[in-house]
Amino acid sequence: MSPLSAQLHRNIGFSAIAFNKAKELDPVQKLFLDKIREYKTKSQKAGGPVDVGPEYEKELNDQTEKLTRL
């Protein structure tokens, strides 16, 4: 392993440790990531967007039809 490669490997390792500590300390970031994960789970179960109404479905179908005509 070259000296430069070893230095980069060490820097990446330290960055990962610092990032993990910062992630543990920031409750807003944790809440944001929890909500993203919750949405991802709901989206996978629903097979698409979550909590959409009939207006969204209509607009999606209209836009899809426009694209197929092009």
For residue 47, the model assigns a pLDDT of 85
Taking only the tens place, the pLDDT of each residue in 14-59 is: 566 666 665 576 888 889 989 999 999 998 998 888 888 889 989 9
For residue 11, the model assigns a pLDDT of 62
Burial of 64 (0-12, 13-18, 19+ CB in 10 A): exposed
For residue 63, the model assigns a pLDDT of 95
List the chain domain ranges: 3-69
Other beta carbons within 10 angstroms of residue 13's beta carbon come to: 10
The secondary element (H helix, E strand) that includes residue 48 is none
Q: How far apart are CA 67 and CA 61, in angstroms?
A: 10
